Chains A and B, each alone.
Chain A
Amino acid sequence: MKIAKQARRDAKGLFRDCIRDGLLDENRVREVVRRVLEAKPRGYIAILSHFHRLVKLDVERRTARVESATPLESRLQTKVQADLTKLYGRGLEISFKENAALLGGLRIKVGSDVYDGSIQAKLAALRESF
């Protein structure tokens, strides 16, 4: 238990060191992982796994997944991109994906925020209300 706590604290410190100008610096992340694996400090596996988790959450927070039933036209893509950047600031990685199950509309997920304007979600809400 003690080790786990210390490992979490260390991982957090390392994670903080990887932030440059408010954004996660990928090169530094690689560097940190390499250095830790070289030095093998006490509980380094625990440190790295918590570090991995923090990075994963940060990446998720900065990743927007835009899903639509049919491929989005490039003009729309630019607009969604601009809107999201306005909302979440720079450094947002945006990926576009097709998902026929949505039937229509868009579903956007940024970190744990979800904007669901898909027909599928509306049908589900309708079903719930019965």
Chain B
Amino acid sequence: MSTILQEIEAEIAGAKMATAKQNVGTVREIGDGVARVEGLTDAMLNEMLDFGHGITGLALNLEETEVGAIILGDYTEIEEGDEVRTTGKLLQVPVGKGLLGRVVDALGEPLDDKGPVKSELAYPVEKIAPGIIRRKQVSQPVQTGIMAIDAMIPIGRGQRELIIGDRSTGKTTLGIDTIINQARLNHAAEAAGNKDYRPLYCIYVAVGQKRSNVARIINVFEEHGAMAYTTIISASASDSATNQYLAPFAGAAMGEWFMDNGMDALIIYDDLSKHAVAYRQVSLVLKRPSGREAYPGDVFYLHSRLLERSARVSEKYGNGSLTALPIIETQAGDVAAYIPTNVISITDGQIFLETDLFYQGIRPAISVGISVSRVGSTAQVKAMKQVAGRIKLDLAQFRELAAFAQFGSDLDAKTQAQIERGKRIVEVFKQPQYNPVPLEVQVAVLWTVQNGFIDDVPVDRVKDFQTKLTDFLTSRKNELMARILKEGALSDTLTADLKAAVTEFKETYK
């Protein structure tokens, strides 16, 4: 009797052999969040490995006799000799609109107290960037609400624009302001019932930052009603290097979901310098060969494959986009260091922030001369192009002339006028933080500057003039402002009306 049972069992086991096949290995060495596993001959690169105890690892080194895996989570429970299984799944994170308004970690697990993340779909963390065929030229603007950027270094949807500067020069603030401005635009479009408006969803990835910093940013977002359109991914300084290394890729996956579904998203990587350091640590404990500044040889590929995932997809493939604003911190303004040069070369331009400007009170401390946007001008709104076309040049010329004028030589009237204009432009571009300026106001103010209406306002009163003009335009002339926004270009009649409005204001301004 027992033999017949055994026979059946063996038959069943035999039939199931093909499906029930598992690939296992044993832990040979564990430490520093890295396990070396013998066996696991079928493991794939970036495959999730099951270490038991509910612990997952990520296969990163596939070698001849063993697999090097980083442990996600607490590795102290794993012991030598433990059995490890392949799962056949690549590392993935939840994606979708359920993530908006949430604060999550590098694996998409909630860090806030709003319960589990509502999401039916997961995307692999590592994904191949959209191919050439699927891409389209950048053609729609991202309104950052920061005048200096929107006027002189315009950013388009699907672009990768680097924010680079020394520590504490306002890099993070540029990102936050941009997100706040999206919230303002999204709210306005919702209130107006504008169906054509394409909201820009935001993802903020904090890598290696202090938790207090992240908490402060969450507060700012909540105060400005920006959380509803934003996902925050936090792998703070006290999280493992593994999680810091994964966070930007998790963020990219969440952003890609919007792009794949015909929506627009913006992702801020704050910052990639710390990301490179985390990756260096992971590589060193995995005993990968190290190169310059002890970074592994593929640190360049690390960032290029991440940033290549931002793109503008053509109409045929859904018309979505993912815009990236990576942040890099430099040491003493050295943009020629290893990581900065790498990232500069794979982005579509950079916004360079300077400590000197910052302490002179010129904030945002954007160094206009060396900041560029290589693709964004095609996406700039026509009205803005009309008024801002020459302003970057004016400002650059002013900087040179001002340096020249310091030597006290006599200047001709034209040069003098250029310098006076330049001083006022610098004032106009100063902008407090968390205070994005709507596009139509930017256009009106810049038109006023370009047409000489502030040349007779003393430099130290320019800011006051600008504030009062803005108040006047948004309260008394809000119809005109709405027309500028709607038409998107300054026609002759619009220009005449704007001129009349500004003249009216100037008469009352004291």
**Which A residues lie at the B interface, using CB under 8 A?**
53-54, 57, 60-61, 68, 70, 72-73, 76, 79-80, 83, 87, 104-106, 108-109, 111-117
Could you say which of B2, B17, B23, B41 has the most chain A C-beta atoms within 10 Å of its C-beta?
A: B17
How far, in whole Å, are A79 and B38 apart by their CA atoms in the complex?
Answer: 30
| A53-B65, A70-B2, A117-B20 given; A112·B41 CB < 8 A | yes
Contacts of B41 in A (CB 8 A): 61, 111-113
| A12 and chain B: residue at smallest CB distance | B64
Q: Is the CB of A105 within 8 A of B3?
A: no
| B54 and chain A: residue at smallest CB distance | A128
| B83 and chain A: residue at smallest CB distance | A114
Q: Is the CB of B9 within 8 A of A116?
A: no
How far, in whole Å, are A60 and B40 apart by their CA atoms in the complex?
Answer: 12
| A54-B65, A106-B13, A117-B12 given; A112·B6 CB < 8 A | no
Smallest distance from the beta carbon of B20 to chain A beta carbons, Å? Answer: 6
Q: Is the CB of B10 within 8 A of A111?
A: no
Question: Is B120 among interface residues, defined by CB-CB distance under 8 A?
Answer: no
Q: Is the CB of B23 within 8 A of A115?
A: no
Q: Is the CB of B14 within 8 A of A83?
A: yes
Contacts of A68 in B (CB 8 A): 6
Q: Is the CB of A117 within 8 A of B13?
A: yes
- Using an 8 Å CB-CB cutoff, how does the interface string of B8-45 with A read, 1 for contact, 0 for none? 01101110110011111100000000000011111000
Contacts of A115 in B (CB 8 A): 13, 16-17, 20-22
| A54-B65, A83-B14, A117-B20 given; A112·B9 CB < 8 A | no
| A53-B65, A73-B3, A111-B41 given; A116·B20 CB < 8 A | yes
Contacts of B9 in A (CB 8 A): 104-106, 117
Question: Is B7 among interface residues, defined by CB-CB distance under 8 A?
Answer: yes
Q: Is the CB of B13 within 8 A of A112?
A: no
Q: Is the CB of B22 within 8 A of A76?
A: no
Q: Is the CB of B22 within 8 A of A116?
A: yes
Q: Is the CB of A112 within 8 A of B39?
A: yes
Q: Is the CB of A114 within 8 A of B21?
A: yes
Which of these, A60, A76, A116, contacts B10 with CB under 8 Å? A76
Give the size range of B's interface with the partner: 20 to 34
Smallest distance from the beta carbon of B7 to chain A beta carbons, Å? Answer: 7
How far, in whole Å, are A53 and B36 apart by their CA atoms in the complex?
Answer: 14
A selection of 14 A-B contacts at a CB cut-off of 8 Å is: A57-B38, A70-B2, A73-B7, A76-B6, A76-B10, A79-B14, A105-B13, A113-B22, A113-B23, A113-B24, A114-B23, A114-B24, A115-B16, A115-B22
Contacts of A112 in B (CB 8 A): 23-25, 39-42
How far, in whole Å, are A72 and B280 apart by their CA atoms in the complex?
Answer: 53
Contacts of B14 in A (CB 8 A): 79-80, 83
How far, in whole Å, are A33 and B214 apart by their CA atoms in the complex?
Answer: 60
How far, in whole Å, are A104 and B14 apart by their CA atoms in the complex?
Answer: 14
Contacts of A70 in B (CB 8 A): 2, 6
| A61 and chain B: residue at smallest CB distance | B41
Q: Is the CB of B22 within 8 A of A106?
A: no
How far, in whole Å, are A10 and B6 apart by their CA atoms in the complex?
Answer: 48
How far, in whole Å, are A87 and B14 apart by their CA atoms in the complex?
Answer: 12
- Using an 8 Å CB-CB cutoff, how does the interface string of B212-228 with A read, 1 for contact, 0 for none? 00000000000000000
Q: Is the CB of B17 within 8 A of A83?
A: yes
How far, in whole Å, are A68 and B5 apart by their CA atoms in the complex?
Answer: 13
Q: Is the CB of B39 within 8 A of A111?
A: yes
| B41 and chain A: residue at smallest CB distance | A112
Contacts of A54 in B (CB 8 A): 65
| B287 and chain A: residue at smallest CB distance | A1
Q: Is the CB of A57 within 8 A of B13?
A: no
How far, in whole Å, are A76 and B6 apart by their CA atoms in the complex?
Answer: 9
Known pairs A112-B24, A113-B22. 4 more at Cβ < 8 A?
A: A73-B3, A109-B24, A111-B41, A117-B16
Q: Is the CB of A76 within 8 A of B7?
A: yes
| A57-B65, A117-B16 given; A106·B21 CB < 8 A | no
Q: Is the CB of B21 within 8 A of A113?
A: yes
| A54-B65, A111-B39, A112-B42 given; A80·B10 CB < 8 A | yes
Contacts of A114 in B (CB 8 A): 21-24
Contacts of B23 in A (CB 8 A): 112-114
